Amino acid sequence: MTEQRTEALPVRYAGIDDIVNRVPVSVVWEITLACDLACQHCGSRAGRRRRDELNTAEALDLVEQIAELGARDVGLIGGEAYLRKDWLQIVAAIRAAGMRCDLQTGGRNLTDERVARAAAAGLGGIGISIDGIGATHDAIRGVPGSFELAVAALRRVRAHGLSSAVNTTINARSLPQLREIMDLIIDAGASNWQLAIMTAMGNAADHPELLLQPWQMLEVMPLLAELAEDGRERGLFLQPASNLGYYGPHETVIRNIANDEIHFHGCNAGDTVMGIEADGTIKSCPGLPSPYAGGNIRERRLRDIWENADPLAFVRRRTIDDLWGFCRSCYYAETCMAGCTWTAHALMGRPGNNPMCFHRAREMDKKGLRERLVKVKDAGGRSFDHGEFEIVVEAAAPRVADRVLADG
């Protein structure tokens, strides 16, 4: 984070003024839950549209309310946003209200005509999800042939002059393929690559075999630093999601946006980030479960929810006393505040203790230990639900007697 802002920074980059004034710089809006893929890690368990999704008039009114709060960037997600018949109307309204609009998509049916019409409506960029090479992507996305379609969509985006990005979920299957993915997407014309670790929410909670283990952050972060430097030289800008980190010598490399002193400074849900569900539910972050819902725009004005709803205020009101486990006594506790709330809550059932952390894994490793996550409770099968995991501390060398961490 820095107080300086230059033309090179993305519009969704939040500065200190945005935090002080609580401007929802980046709004992520699930406009429908309908989807043409069946992803094994989908947090919202998308597939069919919600029964009570906002109608066109409600959606267009919401655009005006978002603009009134000073938002600069609205990212449309799903489900699959382009399956909503009025999605281009929404895009055009967002642009007309002076905000940037991007689309995040699996790209399975992102036809040439759809891209052309989206560009004409004013869409700024499209991010395509690519989670592996060939069969790996197809298996994770649940549709044979979806990899080829995603890559073709990526090339199409570039051909229409839109900014093209790729989103990749780092999991046990995609981790060994990250370099190959990077080479592929550079060749296909991507200029941005957003990476996040798979979070144990929704469908992902049913696939613990795909989740990274905490000690794997010791592999992930050096690799990402290497890829970030290599990518930058080749015109690809790596963007780590909030659940990637934290600290260590790689932090400055992966988060270097024109300033090598930028570092992770804690979850910004509800401060500069807002999430919206297709039925008008407002959350502080799109991935968070229902306890973080602040209200519905069918019942209250967006400004009222954003400024006054208690469930959206947890980031700005919490203190170090709300942390627990390793994070409570961590050297970085006051800055980091246990990292990504979404990731911590999905694993541990509440925020404040996040095992998916480079610094934590390194501190454990110094003692010859590592943490392993074991699922002890299944998720219920609803959107944005989660199971429960237990942290087992074991010797860094595997197959040594386990002991359950008396954590918290």
Partner 1 sequence: MAESGRIPELLRLCRGCHEFVRLDEADCPFCGGDLDLLQADYQKRLADMHQAAAELREALARIRLSGGQSG
Q: Is 113 in the site for partner 1 (CB under 8 A)?
A: no
Binding residue for partner 1, selected from 6, 16, 120, 232, defined by CB under 8 A: 16
* Closest C-alpha among 42, 41, 370, 396 to residue 214: 370
Using CB under 8 A, count the residues that bind partner 1: 30
ω before 287 within 30° of 0 (cis)? no
Binding residue for partner 1, selected from 1, 115, 282, 356, defined by CB under 8 A: 1
Q: For 22, how many CA atoms within 13 A lie in the half-sphere containing its CB?
A: 15
Q: Quick one: 118 or 330, whose CB is closer to partner 1?
A: 330
Binding residue for partner 1, selected from 4, 7, 20, 321, defined by CB under 8 A: 20
Show the site string, 326-345: x = touches partner 1 by CB under 8 A, - = not. -----xx-xx-x--------
CA 76 to chain centre: 13
Q: Nearest 5°: phi and psi at 192?
A: -130, 145
**Which 229-268 residues touch partner 1, going by CB under 8 A?**
247-249, 251-252, 260-261, 263, 265-266, 268
Q: Quick one: 48 or 232, whose CB is closer to partner 1?
A: 232
**Which 295-324 residues touch partner 1, going by CB under 8 A?**
307, 313, 315-316, 318
Q: Quick one: 258 or 404, whose CB is closer to partner 1?
A: 258
Between CA 228 and CA 240 the distance in angstroms is 10
Which token pair is 392?
A: 């087992």
Q: Quick one: 24 or 202, whose CB is closer to partner 1?
A: 24
Distances (CA, A) of 388 to 176, 199, 377, 385: 27, 12, 5, 10
Helix (H, G, I), strand (E, B) or coil at 27: strand
Q: Are 127 and 105 in contact (CB under 8 A)?
A: yes
Q: How far is the CB of 314 from partner 1 (least distance, A)?
A: 10
Q: Quick one: 40 or 268, whose CB is closer to partner 1?
A: 268
Q: Quick one: 153 or 309, whose CB is closer to partner 1?
A: 309
Select from 11-19, 142-150, 212-220, 287-295 the region that touches partner 1 (CB under 8 A).
Answer: 11-19
Q: Quick one: 39 or 338, whose CB is closer to partner 1?
A: 338
Binding residue for partner 1, selected from 9, 11, 19, 186, defined by CB under 8 A: 19
Between CA 214 and CA 224 the distance in angstroms is 16
Q: Are strands 369-377 and 163-170 parallel, antiparallel or unpaired?
A: unpaired
* Closest C-alpha among 264, 285, 268 to residue 276: 285
User: H helices of 349-401, where?
Assistant: 358-366
**Which 21-40 residues touch partner 1, going by CB under 8 A?**
21-22
Between CA 122 and CA 370 the distance in angstroms is 49
Q: For 296, how many CA atoms within 13 A lie in the half-sphere containing its CB?
A: 12
Contacting positions for partner 1 (CB under 8 A): 1, 16, 18-22, 247-249, 251-252, 260-261, 263, 265-266, 268, 271-272, 307, 313, 315-316, 318, 331-332, 334-335, 337
